[in-house]
Amino acid sequence: MTSKTMEGGQAIIRCLENEGVEYIFGYSGGAAIPIFDALVTTQTKIKFVLVRHEQGAAHMADGYARATGKPAVVLVTSGPGATNTLTGIMTAHMDSIPMIVLTGQSVSWMLGKDAFQEADIFGITMPVVKHSYLVKHANDIPRIVREAFHIATTGRPGPVLIDIPKDVSAGPCTADLHAEMDLPGYKTDYPVDNETILSIAEALAKSQRPLILAGHGAMISGAGASLRALAEKAQIPVTTTLLGKGVFPETHPLALGMLGMHGTAYANKAVCECDLLLNIGSRFDDRIIGQPARFCKDARIIHIDIDAAEINKMIRPEIVCVADAKTAIDELIKHVPVLETKEWRRHLDGYKARYPLKFKRQGSLKMQHIIDEFYKMTGGHACVATDVGQHQMWAAQFYKNESRHNWLSSGGAGTMGFGLPACIGAAFGRPDDTHICFVGDGGFQMTFFELATAALHKLPIKIVVLNNHYLGMVRQWQQLFYDDRKSGVDLEGNPDFVKLAESFGIKGFNLRRPGDVKRIVKSALDYDDGPCLINCEVEKTDNVFPMVPAGAALEDMLVEPPSTKLEKPTGST
């Protein structure tokens, strides 16, 4: 069956409708005009969100996808329009976020000839996408769009690029809009091996100090309820990665919070002292393992992951299971007995009492105080987006998460400028929920132009600028490891953020004293006429602890400021 003749751009919009797309985030331009025109001529119900920069579009789509669990769509033009999405594509790729990026391109017969606004976006993005397409014929559009969504959302999710020359998007398309996919060799069905599951159950049964490490893969697979059932049945403590926050309720008695460089002391000590580590959906990244040779050196390690490429990449586990996390857990529960872990849990509870997350409410205004107050007033049920830096780590520590899709943070890429547009994308996807954006003054200034997008659509977001006038995390490293020689971290010249917000028509609050935290946080949460911004003049030189210096082992964790000079770290910041 063939459809009636339509332009390629119209076919794209109809195919996006078939995939259930609600929003397209983007910025227009010449090479993409036929697609933008189709948003009008097709009379589609898809809503287009005009951003102020293409990077903002990619981060908004990312935030939408993280907050809803649904794939998101970006539409931009060729050349610089396409390359401006690169940071956002890399961010999504590092964190396995399903995203479709549609880029306009120069006409087919000018490809490779340095035409106006031509860029080889197919080649440029190849290392940071799950798959790419260059559409050469309009009749290929329905198949390619369907394949792109399938690839982006199955197996280990990720961004897919579709590059569309202008003559293709303007040309005639007569293909069936429900075309069949053609993906030979693309495998997403990984059946659970029963013998492997029995081996894991047997290893758990012999363990006296077991620990579950739950990562983003467990979150993506929707394994939260299954993970909780497994942990409660076997009475196994659970720690999570930064991106796994919320897959296991962080207020649960078995919860240890986040592990790693700025994880809780008790989570890191549990990793050091466990005799078995069951990793479900974490890629063992450098932020959580410290020194690979010393990581869980006395423990049996089991790794469940849907991506075989992550097996043996950083750590060599004793037992591996390449499978979907939820499917594997559901099968494992049938075979795992109730374990005798009372002494182990009591031991870890002792660490919780000895090394609690804490801060001083007296003196200068602390980021932790503000984040903690937002947590208390929302009961941990807001959708929280962060930027990257000290505030991100304190938010991870003090804003506990109870469910999936409520923690939006750039993990693998560590992308400054992510927080605000990601929060905006989440608010489009979940307009009836409370959305809080914790950003530092550095990262905020990288994408604050998207305040216009938030204001125009009257989005219910609370933008909390934790303003210490520094690039705080780098300053902390310079203080601890470089004799406090500050270089390139002083953000002298910051604008008045409240006046900046007001220039966009956004309500602004200034917060300077600890005694005003409760009142102003409540006022911001009660504000219901669009976005609002709180400029928080916090302590300039506060440091995040616990801390594991880069390249050091978890055993070398610092729980408080050191009394002696530290050696320069060998790992990345």
| Strand-strand pairing, 6-7 and 172-173 | antiparallel
- Residue 362's pLDDT is 87
Angle of the 517-526 helix axis to the 367-378 helix axis, nearest 10: 50
Q: pLDDT per position in the chain (573 positions), as tens?
A: 345 889 999 999 999 999 999 999 999 999 999 999 999 999 999 999 999 999 999 999 999 999 999 999 999 999 999 999 999 999 999 999 999 999 999 999 988 898 999 999 999 999 999 999 999 999 999 999 999 999 999 999 999 999 999 999 999 999 999 999 999 999 888 889 999 999 999 999 999 999 999 999 999 999 999 999 999 999 999 999 999 999 999 999 999 999 999 999 999 999 999 999 999 999 999 999 989 999 999 999 999 999 999 999 999 999 999 999 999 999 999 999 999 999 999 999 999 999 999 998 889 999 999 999 999 999 999 999 999 999 999 999 999 998 889 999 999 999 999 999 999 999 999 999 999 999 999 999 999 999 999 999 999 999 999 999 999 999 999 999 999 999 999 999 999 999 999 999 999 999 999 999 999 999 999 999 999 999 999 999 999 999 999 889 999 999 988 877 677 776 666
Q: What is the pLDDT of residue 2?
A: 44
Kindly list the catalytic residues.
54, 116-117, 166, 473
> For the structural domain made of 6-173, what CATH number should be given?
3.40.50.970
Provide CATH 3.40.50.970 ranges for the chain: 6-173, 367-545
Lookup: tokens for 13: 């919009």
Nearest-5° Cα angle at 397, 238 to 349 = 45
CATH 3.40.50.1220 positions along the chain are 194-354
CA-nearest of 86, 90, 85, 105 to 26 is 85
C-alpha 313/C-alpha 318 separation (Å) is 13
- Which string of DSSP letters, residue by residue, matches 17-56? HHTT--EEEE---GGGHHHHHHHHHTT-SPEEEE-SSHHH
194-354 falls under which CATH superfamily? TPP-binding domain (3.40.50.1220)
Distance (Å, rounded) from C-alpha 560 to C-alpha 198? 42
CATH number of 367-545: 3.40.50.970
pTM score, two decimals? 0.96
